[in-house]
Each structure stands twice: as C-alpha cells, then as structure tokens.
Structure 1
Amino acid sequence: MTVTPARDATFAAPFVQSREIILAVTTLGRGHFIEESDCFGTIFATAADWLKAHDGEHATKLIRFDLDALHGEDISETVADAWLDDFDRTPDDEHLLPAFVRTSQAWERWCADFEAPHGGFEQTRPFCQPGHGTLNHRQQFGARP
C-alpha cells in the first residue's frame, strides 16, 4: 500500500482532541492570566481550523491541555505558523499580529523569507528586528562631570 501525502493527512491525529482544551496565557501589566477556550468536546483537525473559531488575539502563549492525562504542551509556534499562512501583509504591519505570533520563531522565519523589491533586485530585508543602538548612555550623551 502506497501512502500519499493526502492519505497520510487523513490518518494524522487531530490538532485538538475532544478531551483537550486550549489555555490562552495573557500578560497584562505585571500579571499573567489564563483563559480556557470553549473547545472542550470539539475536535479540530488542524491549527487553521482552530483559528477559524478562536483568534487568540491577546494571548502571549497557547497551551494544549489534555484533561485526561493532566499534561500541557505549548502550541504557540504551530498556531503562529497557521496564523501567518493567511497573513498577506508586510512585516511593517507587525502591529496587526496577535502577541503570540509577534514573539514567535514563526514570525522570525516569515520575516526572513519575506522578499521586497529594492533597487531593481530582490533582497531579503530584516524587517522583524526592532532597531536599537548598541551605545550605552555615556557614549550617547557624554559622561557627566
């Protein structure tokens, strides 16, 4: 029997099982808050399917938690990859991203792969790294007497 990618995807485990919930960790000020998504009893085949029902807009981390095994797994990167699949903007639009996407390795990869025309040729531009100087306060503003 030959296994094709489509057939393999058919037998892949769902992204969220009916016994699992997604915990959204949110950071507000100095505190961390955890909100439970309303997906208990629902099966989502992929992260993209879960995103159709939940946006995770204010979440800084997403955890898939198995209520039977009492075990959690950080799925922020997987969901960030799925979120970025539909992001048809530029890295300059970083302010539109949910927190868990903005701080993910998926965003770093997405920015590194983003190519913009520059001077008549294609060049990869490091849009996603915030600009900052390496000078300390004394070097920038001079030493005080």
Structure 2
Amino acid sequence: MSDAISVDAATAMSAAPFLKRREIILAMMTLGAGTFCNETDTTGTTYRTAADWLDVHDGEHVERLIRFDLDALHGEDVTETVADAWLNGFEQSPEQEHRLPAFVRTSQAWERWCADFSAQCAPFGQTAHGTLNHRQQFGTSLR
C-alpha cells in the first residue's frame, strides 16, 4: 500500500464531522420585532456533513446558525457552511430567491452562487465577425 493512499485514507477518516454528539445548533431567528434563539434537537447525534444536518432540519425562518459545544461552552457561526450545503441542491435561477431560507439569502454563499450562475449562463462573449466586408454588407453607395 503506497504512502499517498494511506495518507488520503487517514485524512478522510480523520475529517471532523459537522456536528458531534455533544454539540447543538442554535438557530437565530427574527420574527416580527423580536429576535429568538431555538435549540435544535441534535444532542447525542453526530452529523457527518452540513448536508446531512439539512436532511433533518430545514432552517426556514433562520437567519444565523451557531454550532455550540456543550462541553467547552463555545459557539461557532456555521451559517456559511450550511448555506453552501443548502445551495448544492438548488437547481433554479437567482430569480427564485424567494424560495430560499433567510440564512441562505443573506449569506456570502448566495452571492458566490449567483456569480457562478451568471458566469455559466453568460452569453457568448466573443465579438462576432461575419465573412462579408463593410462594402459587401452595406453596399458601395454609402456616402
């Protein structure tokens, strides 16, 4: 077994999961004039990726997502990570922005996604040149 394969396998196996058993997601929401925090029911569950977490939680009214470690009493903003995972399955156009949860609409991931979408759908950018010269196109009687 080559060293490159064993290093890649070790890296893949040691990649930290998105959410560990002693971590929760705190969902920050603004409803009406107030800001609320909701704790997700993830204690005791490990999620390998943000996409795995999204399979169970939709985050419809959420504006920010904080991964909170119950042992270390420390939080980390994972809004961008989850927004990237949410957009991986979004196969529509930027005009469908109203279908996105708030945390995706306000994320940098959405800005990157829109820029990539525009780059992929941009019209052919090279100037077209025909085979006719100016006189053949417009005639010789131009004055």
Which TM-score tier does this pair reach, normalised by the shorter chain? 0.7 to 0.9
State the secondary structure of the residue aligned to 1:33: strand
Q: CA deviation at 1:35?
A: 0.6
Q: CA deviation at 1:30?
A: 1.9
Question: Which residue matches 2:32?
Answer: 29
Q: Distance in 2 between matches of 1:23 and 1:63?
A: 5
The question of 1:43 aligning with 2:14 is answered no
The question of 1:52 aligning with 2:55 is answered yes
Which of structures 1 and 2 has the bigger CA Rg? 2
**Aligned-CA RMSD value:** 1.6
Q: Distance in 2 between matches of 1:108 and 1:98?
A: 14
Question: Which residue matches 1:116?
Answer: 121
Q: Distance in 1 between matches of 2:35 and 2:113?
A: 27
- For these two proteins, the number of residue pairs brought into alignment is 120
Question: Which residue matches 1:91?
Answer: 94
The gaps in structure 2 that reach 5 residues or longer are 126-143
Q: CA deviation at 1:110?
A: 0.3
TM-score by length of 1: 0.78
- AA partner of residue 44 (structure 2): G
Q: Distance in 2 between matches of 1:38 and 1:78?
A: 19
The gaps in structure 1 that reach 5 residues or longer are 123-145
Name the structure with the higher helix share.
2
Identity %: 65
Q: CA deviation at 1:45?
A: 0.5
Structure 1 residue ranges, 4+ long, deviating more than 6 angstroms after superposition: none
2:108 counterpart (101, 105, 110): 105
TM-score by length of 2: 0.79
